[in-house]
Amino acid sequence: MIDVLYFAWVRERIGLPKERVETNALTVADLVAELTAREDRYAAAFADVSALRVALDQELADFSAPLKGIREVAFFPPMTGG
Amino acid sequence: MPVRVQAEPFDFGKECAGFGQGGSSTGAVVAFLGRVRDDSGSLVRMEIEHYPGMTEKAIGAIAAEASRRWCLNDVLVVHRHGKLTPGEAIMMVATAARHRVAAFEAAEFLMDYLKSRAPFWKKEIAADGAAWVSAIAEDEQALDRW
């Protein structure tokens, strides 16, 4: 089980801020493929992953990063702080 | 290393007055205040979302890196989230160093990294609709100079 968090327009498109996901995905990209296959709202959110960022256990990571040992995955658009 | 992420407003003057007072080796203090700007004239409010937990960690790491690179005597970052109205203070950074070059450069470094490496997202609510603020390429490119 892994906690998956969504922020900003990713959260709005998927329609929830957080969910627990039962997955055997080895990498972030595998997880994205699993989620995309679920429903249209996921496909809409993940249509262009180059427009997204991912954090693993609250550290920025790549979509090719392994999920082994990771408890929390977050997807969000590029940050606009400051 | 004080980093505060909060919904409440902060008093910029009070923060500055109390900043960088420890020790007598500080010869330069730089403070920057970021406010909600209304370019269109129709902005009703700005909503700032963040990633609790990661936000504090990410800003802490950025502040630690700035302190290491410029040998800062003190650093402060305050960043708000939630609903803000035009003109309201969003965030501030302050740096204290022996000399002004370090204080100015470290403040710019903090701002550049906060813009694209701290997990905040701004949404502008205008009279005619709402839109997420897009990240701009210049903000990402600004990191290259460091």
CATH number at residue A57: 3.10.20.30
B111 to chain A, any CB pair closer than 8 A? The answer is yes
A42 domain-assigned: yes
Q: What domain count does chain A have?
A: 1
Looking at this predicted complex, what is its ipTM? 0.95
A34 part of a folded domain = yes
Give the mutation candidate from A11, A12, A54, A79 for the B interface (greatest B CB count, under 10 A). A79
Question: Taking CB atoms and an 8 Å limit, are B121 and A79 in contact across chains?
Answer: yes
Q: Assign residue A59 a region (left: φ > 0; alpha: ψ between -120 and 50; beta: otherwise).
A: beta
d(CA B106, CA B68): 10
For A20-68, write each residue's pLDDT tens digit. 999 999 999 999 999 999 999 999 999 999 999 999 999 999 999 999 9
Say if residues B114 and A82 touch (Cβ distance below 8 Å): yes
The domains located in chain B, with CATH, are: 3-134 (3.90.1170.40)
- How much of chain B exceeds pLDDT 90, in percent? 85
Asked if residue B5 has pLDDT above 80, the reply is yes
| CA neighbor of B118 nearest in space, from B5, B10, B1, B2 | B5
Domain containing residue A20: 2-76
Q: Output the pLDDT for position A57.
A: 98
The answer as to whether A31 is a domain residue is: yes
Residue A21 domain-assigned (yes or no): yes
**Is residue A81 in a domain?**
no
DSSP per-residue letters across B31-74 = EEEEE---SSS-EEEEEEEE-TTHHHHHHHHHHHHHHHHHT-SE
